[in-house]
Amino acid sequence: MIKSLIKNLSNLPGWTTNQKIVVIESDDWGAIRMASKEALERLEKKGVLPFDDDERIYLHNDSLATEKDFSELFEILESVKDAQNKSAVFTAVAVVANPDFEKIQQSDFKNYYYEPFTETLKKYPDHQNSFESWKKGIKSRLFVPQFHGREHLNVINWLKALQANNKDTLLAFDEKIYGITPSKQENFVSFQAAFDVYDPIEINYHKQILEEGLDLFENLFGYKASFFVPTNGPFNNQLEEVLAKKDIKYIGTSKIQKQPIGFGKNKISLHYLGQKNKWEQTYLTRNAFFEPSSNLKNDWVNACLSEIEIAFKWKKPAVISSHRTNYTGFINPKNRENGLKQLKLLLTKILHKWPDVIFLTSDELGNLMTKEHD
């Protein structure tokens, strides 16, 4: 009862529409998570264990997407048509680079180097041609990348841990992996949270990361990103000016944002759908969740349908969070099979319950919202 009340209340503020709009935002595409099943087994034997249950689930399922991952995902998205005869579509919130482990090691961990994720793909056994799948998805509007960061990594804190000879971090490094929280942390900043802040001076480096990442995004995909979601959430709002100068129009944020200001302190900011900042950027907020790999016992389909129903009740678009990890099978093929089966069921039930629904990408939603405000 209380959860339902909170979900209803959280959908009250902000932009409204009579259209039944569904947006699926899927984070983490392009990022390394677990290099292989064998790497996972070797790390477990050496006692490198996940920090918590959520991290364990990711490490056992999430990886760079293979050609098979894409072909099976696209088949499902293409099979479902909305009221305008358009296919279901993923806004693929993507990073564009990963660490260049060889160069970092050659520098004795003194310097950080990165490579485009397209180069990372070439080093994996089932991924050499998967960037062609990205391009196919873009061309057919099934899979439309937007910006998540240069890499899914807090570079400064990871490099500090390597320089300090942190055992867990070094063992993971040897397997070409960065996203494992060490049992003995240098500070409270997650390696996955690229824009979290320990020392406020780090914000200047984050500005550089955004500029380089957005330039690389345009170089890889042939268009500028217009929508940004910070990895793991933490993000200092001083960086919004850089995003504005690089033509980011829309920012994905939590309704209750914890803005890191340094040394463990956060500033709380409240956001709602359609809210604008001083740079005239528009905030987009999520109000539904579909994460079947995170808990196999949950009824994710009906839970998500219920959240969509609440969104439509208050004349809000349903903006669904559904991470890449639900659809990858390189580490665990059964994970992909389960995720895609449930995605198909969810999309089918959405169309059955709301035949007038339309599927939009995040930037299309943003364009619609700002057009109506003009």
Beta bridge partners of 252: 284
DSSP characters over 131-157: HHHHHHHHHTTSEEEEEEESSSS-HHH
Cβ atoms of 189 and 196 within 8 Å: the answer is yes
Question: Could you tell me the pLDDT band of residue 372, with boundaries at 50, 70 and 90?
Answer: low
pLDDT of 85 reads 98
Q: What is the pLDDT of residues 177-213, one digit of tens each?
A: 998 887 766 677 889 999 999 999 999 999 999 999 9
Q: How many C-beta neighbours within 10 Å does residue 228 have?
A: 28
Closest CA to 307 of 57, 23, 81, 84: 23
pLDDT of 283 reads 98
Beta bridge partners of 90: 24, 143
What class is the 19-291+314-341 domain?
Answer: alpha beta
pLDDT of 181 reads 80
Half-sphere exposure of 194 (CA within 13 A, CB side): 26
Question: Could you tell me the pLDDT band of residue 53, with boundaries at 50, 70 and 90?
Answer: confident
Q: What is the pLDDT of residues 155-168, one digit of tens each?
A: 999 999 999 999 99
Query: Is 0.75 topped by the overall pTM?
Result: yes
pLDDT beyond 70 at 286: yes
Q: Which amino acid is at 287?
A: N
pLDDT of 54 reads 87
Torsion angle of C-alpha atoms 181, 186, 187, 191, degrees rounded to 10: -30
* Structure-block tokens of residue 27: 């984070």
Range in 39-53, 222-236, 249-263, 317-331 with the lowest mean pLDDT: 39-53
pLDDT of 52 reads 80
